[in-house]
Amino acid sequence: MRGSFYAALAFCGRMLSPIILVPAVLNGLLTGAVYALVALGLTLIYGVLHIINFAHGALFSAALFAAFFAYRLLGLDPYIAAILLTPVFFLLGYGLQRFVIGPAAHGEDRNILLVTLGLAVVIENTLLYAFRADTRTVNLDYAFNVIDIGVAFLSVPRVIAFGVALVVALVLWLILTLTDTGKAMRAVAKEKLGAELVGIDVVHIYAVTFGLGTACLAIAACLLLPTYYVNPHVGNAFVLVAFTVVVLGGMGSVTGSLLGGMFVGVVESLSGLYLGESLGQIGIFVMFILVLLFRPSGLFGERA
């Protein structure tokens, strides 16, 4: 009796010791950066179009498949494929908003919900039909490289992903602050009618925003592929996480989704450590629901 009590105490002590805790937190941050990138696309679209894009997860699955086949068929390393796929997905997103979502929704919020849901169903099941439910992976010789930073071993591809995600966030921020298109996007986000009156092509700006959000997915997919797998449903796991990140960070905030992404990554990593893998996801959902219920404006954002 007493023995098992002490064993349990020692177990808890071990779980809380920095040797386990620090790597878990660091790995959580690395995963979080990819979440942040997926969430950046979502938050950008929400910020300007004021819609929740339910097709985001399916588009992410599509991006992962694109990166996978770029490697398998063309022999392109995922990091190089990113240069090709980012503009392709920008155009895809642009086209979807301009020619499908925009015209089909007639500007009504409820319709946009349904159209993006319909798109999600179509994309996900087309992937399922074309590639079956098999899970695929790529074999890259650097996939298991690690660097030793003293307190922990970190996977090289994930460190790269972390760095690139930060750069992408910075670039997005620069686009939004410095370029004319960025200024137009912010104008449309703030006051659609006013922006239209001063001659901004709102339909075009909407499509550009959607394109940028989709392009983020292509980059995230290429960063994730070396250490992850592909199947038609893989995006779903990310999209609810991305929703959580976006809600935490405040809808439409770039910094918010970056911080939110890291935070969610750490929460997942820690709850996975203490509750086991499958319940690690629950930690995220519970956090998501709690935030939506009690602070829908997010931890960093303004009133939604």
Partner 1 sequence: MKGITVPWILTIVAALATLPLLTASNVVLNFLIVTLLIALVAQGWNVLGGYGGQYSFGHAAFFGTGAYVTAIMQMRYGVNAWAAFAVGIGGGALVGAIIGALTFRSGLRGSYFALVTLAFAEVLRILASVAPLTGAGVGILIALDLRPQAFQFQSRAPFYWIILALVGVSLVVVRMIEQSRFGAWLVAVRENEDAAKALGVNPTRVKFAAMTVSAAITAAGGAFYAQYYLFIDSGIAYGSWISVEALLAPIVGGVGTVLGPLLGALVVKALGELTKLVTGDTPGLDLVVYGGVLILIVAFAPNGITGLLTNLRGHFMRLRARALGRSDG
- Judged by the rule CB under 8 A, the positions of this chain that interact with partner 1 are 51-52, 54, 100, 103-106, 109-111, 113-115, 117-129, 132-133, 232, 236, 240, 243, 247, 278-279, 281-282, 285-286, 288-289, 292-294, 296, 304
Nearest distance, CB of residue 226 and partner 1, angstroms: 27
Cβ neighbours of residue 185 closer than 8 Å, sequence gap 6 or more: 48, 176, 205, 208, 209
Angle in degrees, 0-180, between the axes of helices 180-190 and 156-178, rounded to the nearest 10: 80
Nearest distance, CB of residue 49 and partner 1, angstroms: 11
Q: Hey, which residues does 147 pair with through a beta bridge?
A: 154
128 versus 143: smaller Cβ distance to partner 1:
128
Using the structure block, give the residue that is written with the tokens 């392009």: 215
Q: Distance between CA atoms of 119 and 139, rounded to whole angstroms?
A: 31
Q: Distance between CA atoms of 183 and 29, rounded to whole angstroms?
A: 31
Cβ neighbours of residue 123 closer than 8 Å, sequence gap 6 or more: 55, 58, 59, 61, 62
9 versus 122: smaller Cβ distance to partner 1:
122
Nearest distance, CB of residue 104 and partner 1, angstroms: 4
Q: Which of 47, 301, 58 is nearest to 172 (CA)?
A: 47
Q: Hey, which residues does 153 pair with through a beta bridge?
A: 148
2 versus 106: smaller Cβ distance to partner 1:
106
171 versus 282: smaller Cβ distance to partner 1:
282
Nearest distance, CB of residue 170 and partner 1, angstroms: 28
SS3 47: helix
127 versus 222: smaller Cβ distance to partner 1:
127
115 versus 184: smaller Cβ distance to partner 1:
115
Nearest distance, CB of residue 263 and partner 1, angstroms: 17
Q: What is the largest CA-CA distance in the chain?
A: 78
Nearest distance, CB of residue 159 and partner 1, angstroms: 30
